[in-house]
Amino acid sequence: MKRTQKETEHSARAITRRSMVVGGLMLATGGLLAARMRYLQVERASDFRLLAEENRINIQLLPPARGLIYDRQGRLLASNEQNYTVVMVRENAGDVDAVLDRLSRIVNIDMQDLARARDEMMARAPFVPITIADRLSWEEFSSVAVNAPALPGITPEVGLSRIYPFGADFAHVVGYVGPVSDFYLESTGDTDPVLQIPDFQVGRYAVESRMEQDLRGETGSRRVEVNATGRVMRELDRIPPTPGKDLQLTVDTGLQNYAQARLSGESASAVVMEVESGDIVALASAPSYDPNLFVRGISTAEYGNLTNDPYRPLASKTVQGLYPPGSTFKMITALAGLEAGMIEPDETITCNGFIELGTRRFHCWRRGGHGRMNMVDGLTQSCDVYYYELAQRVGIDAISAMARRLGLGERYDVPLSGVASGLVPDRDWKRANRGSEWVVGDTLNAAIGQGFVLNSPLQLAVMTSRLATGRAIRPQLVRTLNGIDQRRDQTEDLGIDPAHLAVVREGMWNVSNFRRGTAFRSRVVDEGFQIAGKTGTSQVRNITAAERATGVTRNEDLPWERRDHALFVGYAPADAPRYAVSVVVEHGGGGSTVAAPIARDLLLRAMHGTVPPSSAYPVSQRRDIEAMHDEMQLLPLDPPTEAGRTRA
């Protein structure tokens, strides 16, 4: 049917309206698209450029070189060596097992190490690098690098690993480093990004641990361009890491080595200090262990041998070990009596072998007694009865105060692990810790370094340094940090009457140089090198009245763990002190026979700067001394280097 003109016009108008609506919609859509494109390409251009670059640019952390540790003469005690490693990033590897299988055909990798690496990769985020193998040879490292295109996700890297050139000699001083563990992160709260680097090492013991923040340094970074498989194509820029600070200690390598060798075969410790500066020049604990084992990963068997050894090689006995000081404490009781005005140096006390207090007898070490003793005699021959009588006059309060004045009972701020404060007991301590009141018998025991009194070898060395100088000497182990001197002033006076100190020093001189002195056999015959000291023998068991009646069992007839501890403290030269020493031999027996000879040798080694000449010893002992030195395992020392030398 033919459409009318009116219908045609109406249809045309409808089509025009639809066209306009469709056109408007198309125009609006185009405008929206244009606006969106402008937003994405102009306003968000930098954001999307960054996202795009993140697909081809990686930012990698660069570990800092750990600070070096030197002895007082510039010899390296802790250094860094190159370590060739292979790491894997799981998200870049694809088929992890296939890649590891190909890698194991190139490099000989232990199956346990592979299993460990797989477990660690599954436990961590897929982008975290995991070490597959380390300490590779150059040939193995090169083989991995050459075959890198066939090993997606695998990266050969060159890093630094800690090494301790003197091994066991400084294990208890320098300590060791180890990998970052979850326990370490939780216990320290350390959030340094460098800790996420595979096999990054942190200090785990002694100086390495206590000086961690100074030795660690600061992390660096680099931006690298990578291809689709994650392979590094080129480095775009780099922020170099800041190396850790170099540390110089006060210890002397030669003396430390000599001390460790001299203590060989014993469960023992020795501390040698400079009496004027407080510098610790030797800090030996025996037996020891090789700290390099912990850096490389100690085996279960090796660790078990160390922990099961009754001589406790892992313990730093110099600062962690606490012992009854025995007769080495008697100088404190003597000074307490003199300073309190309770006795005069020439006043005598008669020793008949014991005193009675109520129903109990307190015995002297010499069963028949010493007879009449003044203060110098009492120190020279170590008469217990003299100090029992003196202690009753003085009382525990004055004795404890003098002990603290001379450096006992204090935890010293040296960068070592587990530094103990020891115990100087008094009335308040017993009431708080034992729930009972102090009695006179406690005072008598404390007066001769028994009972509740406990001290570390370091504290005994500090006490001896203070006796030698009359000043409040404090131990120091750090000499410089990045070349800046860290030592403190040591001029504070103890405020003890010099005349009283002179009496005690005379007694200590007699101990080593008077025929009746308890350490006379360990005397030095060279003029200008004589020793002043004090022996000590501390009991670790009770001796019953029945045993005393039949005769006290000799130490050598007892099981090792029930024998007395042997101690000696001293300084030299006696007329112009330079060095103080303390020696403790666990269950060694008598201080005069076991500890005193060791202390003498250490002081002679410190004063001479080399193995002591046989002429320093009594003629009758020289052949034995020469044989002993020939058998000692002493290290040949290279000439010292300057602290701050180029890093490995």
Helix/strand/coil (H/E/C) assignment for every residue in 600-619: HHHHHHHHHCCCCCHHHCCH
Q: Is 569 a member of any domain? A: yes
Note the pLDDT of residue 550.
Answer: 67
Note the pLDDT of residue 637.
Answer: 73
Asked whether residue 241 falls in the same domain as residue 258, the answer is: no
CATH, residue 504: 3.40.710.10
Asked whether residue 75 falls in the same domain as residue 169, the answer is: yes
- Where the chain has pLDDT below 50, the residues are 51, 53, 643-648
Asked whether residue 181 falls in the same domain as residue 268, the answer is: no
Note the pLDDT of residue 44.
Answer: 65
Asked whether residue 137 falls in the same domain as residue 191, the answer is: yes
Q: Is 128 a member of any domain? A: yes
Q: Which two tokens stand for residue 543?
A: 């001796």
Q: Is 27 a member of any domain? A: no
CA dihedral defined by 407, 311, 449, 255, rounded to 10 degrees? -40
Within 13 Å and on the Cβ side, how many CA atoms surround 186?
3
User: How is the chain split among helix, strand and coil, in percent rounded to 5?
Assistant: 45, 20, 40
Asked whether residue 206 falls in the same domain as residue 319, the answer is: no
CATH, residue 104: 3.90.1310.10
Asked whether residue 350 falls in the same domain as residue 420, the answer is: yes
Q: Report the predicted TM-score, pTM, of the whole model to 2 decimal places.
A: 0.84
Asked whether residue 326 falls in the same domain as residue 457, the answer is: yes
Phi then psi dihedrals of residue 570, to 5 deg:
-170, 175
Beta bridge partner(s), residue 82: 160
Q: Is 40 a member of any domain? A: no
Note the pLDDT of residue 180.
Answer: 86
Q: Is 608 a member of any domain? A: yes
Asked whether residue 177 falls in the same domain as residue 266, the answer is: no
Q: How far, in Å, CA of 375 to CA of 195, rounded?
A: 60
Q: Is 13 a member of any domain? A: no
Asked whether residue 209 falls in the same domain as residue 341, the answer is: no
Note the pLDDT of residue 111.
Answer: 76
Asked whether residue 257 falls in the same domain as residue 121, the answer is: no
The secondary structure of 365-402 as a DSSP string is SSTT--EEE-HHHHHHTT-HHHHHHHHHHH-HHHHHHH
- Classified as helix, coil or strand, 177 is strand
Asked whether residue 504 falls in the same domain as residue 360, the answer is: yes
- Which domain covers residue 160, as residue numbers? 59-249
How many independent structural domains does the chain possess? 2
Q: Is 241 a member of any domain? A: yes
Q: Is 596 a member of any domain? A: yes
Q: Do the beta carbons of residue 411 and residue 423 sit within 8 Å?
A: no
Note the pLDDT of residue 545.
Answer: 67
Q: Which two tokens stand for residue 304?
A: 């078990």
Within 13 Å and on the Cβ side, how many CA atoms surround 116?
10
Asked whether residue 271 falls in the same domain as residue 349, the answer is: yes
